[in-house]
Amino acid sequence: MTEGTAMRPIRKTIPLDEALGIVTAAAAPLERTARVPLTAADGRVLAADVVATADVPPFDRAAMDGYAVIAEDTFGAGGDAPRTLRCIETVHTGGVPTRRLELGDCTQIATGAPMPDGADAVVMVERTEREPDGGVRVFTPVYPRQHVGRRAADIAVGQALLACGDLLTPSRLGSISALGIADVDVFDRPVVAILSTGNEIIEPGQPLGPGQIYDINRFTVGAVVERHGGRAVGYPTAADTLDALDAALDACGDADVLVFSGGSSVGERDLMLDLLVRRGEVLFHGIAVKPGKPTVFGHIGGKPVFGMPGYPTSCLSNAYMLLVPLLRRMAHLPPHQPRTASVRAAQRIVSTTGRHQFYTVRVVGGEAVPAFKASGDITSMSLADGYIEIPAQTDIVEKGELVEVKLF
């Protein structure tokens, strides 16, 4: 920083809950839709109702390997008094029966094969015995419809199978494919432009020069975006000038959300605040959290814009806490519910009163072992299993205290 240039401190921070409310209020669910194949639809959200256009199954079918029979023919059958029937046909899965059953007849049938006309039950093969002359001895009675899967028992024509807004899961995709549907209408994923700022940031794979570091935040934030309903688009690092940020902003014109990292702190080169003031509106600057205090949020042309801290742990923490709820709302996804584990604190943890802390831990032997080093250390996150939240009004978590770990 040049001599005579004053730092610009964050004069007022807002509570995390207030910041979350502002962020989610700025996130309107996208109305844009896309037609995608079922192979690409897992985790997407339906943009139109799915109404059954066919019965599933489309015919009565055998639910067991065995013999299709007229149930009346088996009444009174037992181990000492079997009923003997004539086997007139064999039907394999994918085949079609060609002969109708009359009293005294049976058809050998495979699970899933269509039932022959006249048959109303199936005797399991284990309760039968084939005779050399082709006859079949039946050792147990069956009742009508026993071991038969009825036509439309699963899905009936006209049934409202799924509704607009339903999250597509593997089982729901299976129900759609059962109707012969290959493509579905889903809500589009929000496009998130991600770029780091700073003269010291360079692309991995390039040789480091004096004072330079490799870009981390574009990759960590991009992975979070892809996991939570968005489509991450990375852009080249922007230099620490307002002109460079202006050009970077213009290059991201097609994005729905913009995430800059490294331009929201207190130095004279941290220009995200100036960019938002000049091009849009600042909704907050500074959150009472640790790590991640120097965060700026606003909108430009109606698009949400984050100015995340440059420190990797601060940036990634805020991506989980702020960007994820915004993205999931825009993508019509339900709120994220992380897996949790209740364990004991392995040691005493001292927090900063007045700031909501996200404290990373490893779960070892049923205890939460601190993993946090510093906001600038990515291993504070990468070597952790999850994090505990320490409220702003709490300054100490005692050793042995029960804590809830939210798992990554």
Q: Find the CATH number of the domain harbouring 74.
A: 2.170.190.11
**What CATH number is attached to the domain comprising 365?**
2.40.340.10
The pLDDT value given to residue 374: 85
Task: Decide which of 55 and 199 is more confident.
Answer: 55
Domain that holds residue 104: 61-149
Task: Look at residue 10 in the predicted model and tell me its pLDDT.
Answer: 58
Residue 36 pLDDT exceeds 70: yes
**Lowest mean pLDDT: which of 8-12, 107-111, 135-139, 173-177?**
8-12
In a domain, 7, yes or no: no
Q: Mark which of 330, 361, 391 sits at the end of a domain.
A: 330
Q: What is the pTM of this model?
A: 0.84
- Asked if pLDDT for residue 8 goes beyond 70, the answer is no
Residue 118, domain member (yes or no): yes
Q: Can you tell me whether residue 142 is helix, strand or coil?
A: coil
Return the pLDDT at 4. 37
Domain membership of residue 4 (yes or no) is no
Do 135 and 255 reside in the same domain of the chain?
no
169 and 145 co-located in one domain: no
Question: Please, which pLDDT band fits residue 14 given cuts at 50, 70 and 90?
Answer: very high
Residues 140-164, mean pLDDT to the nearest whole number: 97
Among the listed ranges 57-61, 107-111, 241-245, 297-301, which one has the minimum average pLDDT value? 241-245
- Domain membership of residue 231 (yes or no) is yes
Q: Is the dihedral of CA 318, 10, 255, 219 positive or negative?
A: negative
Total number of domains in the chain: 4
Angle at which helix 242-251 crosses helix 272-279, to 10 degrees, equals 60
We report the CATH number of the domain holding residue 161 as 3.90.105.10
Q: What is the CATH number of the domain that holds 304?
A: 3.40.980.10
pLDDT at 3: 37
pLDDT on residue 28: 92
For the cut 50, the answer to whether the pLDDT of residue 54 exceeds it is yes
Q: Does some domain include residue 3?
A: no
* Strands of 135-138's sheet in order across: 121-124, 66-69, 105-109, 83-91, 135-138, 128-130
259 and 280 assigned to the same domain: yes
Task: Name 14's bridge partners.
Answer: 287
Residue 9 within a domain: no
Of 330, 348, 369, the position where a domain reaches its end is 330
Q: What's the mean pLDDT in 255-269?
A: 73
Residues 192 and 309 in one domain: yes
Same domain, 282 and 352: no
**pLDDT tier at 145, thresholds 50, 70, 90:** very high
**Within this chain, do residues 198 and 324 fall inside the same structural domain, yes or no?**
yes
DSSP 8-state code for residue 332:
T
Pick from 262, 261, 270, 257: nearest CA to 305: 257
Q: Return the higher-pLDDT residue of 265 and 208.
A: 208
State the pLDDT at residue 11.
Answer: 63
What letter would DSSP give residue 323? Answer: I
Please indicate, yes or no, whether residues 195 and 286 belong to a single structural domain of this protein.
Answer: yes
pLDDT of 40 strictly over 60 = yes
Residues 192 and 307 in one domain: yes
User: Do 95 and 236 fall into the same domain?
Assistant: no
Is there a single domain that holds both residue 367 and residue 391? yes
Same domain, 254 and 301: yes
Domain final position from 330, 362, 378: 330
Let me know if residue 324 belongs to a domain: yes
Binned at pLDDT 50, 70 and 90, residue 263 comes out as: low
C-beta separation of 176 from 162 below 8 A: yes
**pLDDT, mean of residues 23-43:** 95
Q: Are residues 215 and 91 in the same domain?
A: no
